[in-house]
Amino acid sequence: MTDLFLGVDGGGTKTEFVCIDGDGHVLAQAFTGTTYHPQAGLEGARARLADGVGAVCGKLGVGPAGLTQVFFGLPAYGEDAPVDVQLAAACGEILGHDRYSCGNDMVCGWAGSLGCEDGINLVAGTGSIAYGERAGIGARSGGWGEIFSDEGSAYWIAIRGLNAFSRMSDGRLPAGPLHGRLAAALSLDQDLDLCARIMGEDAYTRDQIAGLAPIVSEAAAAGDRAAAAILDDAAAELLAMAHALRDRLGYAADEVARLSGSGGVLAGEQRVRNALIAAAEEAELFTWVAPIHSPAVGAAMYARRRRPAS
């Protein structure tokens, strides 16, 4: 029978499931909603994982028992030990076997972008985090959650944009294109309606707030200095994570590290990506590597890598 390796790339907005064979060919793919358990809840995350596994198995014409090895890359995994136990148990219940492992979704980005080879990957999507491996040692930086971290993420960019809007509204910043674009996108009759729109009875969710990040980019392109500064700061924050990982992974002072990136911000926000790459290469400590595979394919490759030796 053909070996089947399933990778699950969980995220703050969507979760992608990809199955590959032993040669790395993609055989099936499926999508569900966010499996970020602080937002979806444990039962919500479990239901979406079950739906995705079921969809892939349906396309393959096998049951979960037919999967050779599975890797679940889940957002916020590793940050709450009691919850990790429950998530891992739920994955086992969905599969009905123990040929699987769980980890943070940062691993998916690294495995996909760098093909499971040494180097550092920056993930900047709804949230942000950096992960790298060198000589069999792995380490992470950032990714402490949206309340006080996730620097450089879409959520962080959007929150900074909303802060700039409030300061433009009351005169602490000169009003630029960002003010009008956010007011229109949020259908505000008056500026203070922002409070109810974002924090009121029908408050925006984490991913809905993150969805406002492109408006900051549009405003920057239209000449808004505050918006441009937010995007430049995002690039600097992401690069700071890469520098931190160089130290944690033991790179020599003159050793060049492979650096890549994944997630919606680095894929879609050109100003952030270009500023990051330019600063990284100017430091002569990194060489930028365009992502080789998607994070979901990376998850499947990581599942293949973790197959026990026969």
- Average pLDDT across each block of 10 residues of the chain; the chain has 310 residues. List them in order: 94 94 97 94 97 98 97 96 97 98 97 98 95 96 95 98 98 98 97 96 93 98 98 98 97 96 94 96 95 97 87
pTM of the model: 0.92
Residues ≥6 apart with Cβ < 8 Å to 141: 129, 130, 131, 241, 242, 244, 245, 248
What letters, b where the CB count within 10 A reaches 16 and e where it falls short, cover 276-307? bbebbeeeebbeebebbbbbbbbbbbbbbeee
Look at residue 58 and give its three-state secondary structure. helix
Task: State how far the Cα of 15 lies from the Cα of 299, in Å rounded to an integer.
Answer: 12
Task: State how far the Cα of 268 lies from the Cα of 127, in Å rounded to an integer.
Answer: 14
- Taken as a whole, the chain contains a residue count of 310
**What local confidence, expressed as pLDDT, does residue 8 receive?**
98
**What local confidence, expressed as pLDDT, does residue 287 receive?**
97
Torsion, CA 21, CA 292, CA 296, CA 285, rounded to 10: 130
Residue 39: alpha-carbon gap to chain centroid: 15
Task: State how far the Cα of 71 lies from the Cα of 85, in Å rounded to an integer.
Answer: 15
On whether the CB atoms of residues 128 and 142 are closer than 8 A, the answer is yes
Task: State how far the Cα of 49 lies from the Cα of 90, in Å rounded to an integer.
Answer: 9
**What local confidence, expressed as pLDDT, does residue 12 receive?**
84
On whether the CB atoms of residues 144 and 172 are closer than 8 A, the answer is no
Look at residue 298 and give its three-state secondary structure. helix
Token pair 């700071």 in the structure block, residue:
240
**What local confidence, expressed as pLDDT, does residue 310 receive?**
61
**What local confidence, expressed as pLDDT, does residue 232 receive?**
98
H-only helix segments in 9-80: 37-60
Domains annotated on the chain, with CATH: 5-115+294-305 (3.30.420.40), 124-290 (3.30.420.40)
Task: State how far the Cα of 139 lies from the Cα of 132, in Å rounded to an integer.
Answer: 6
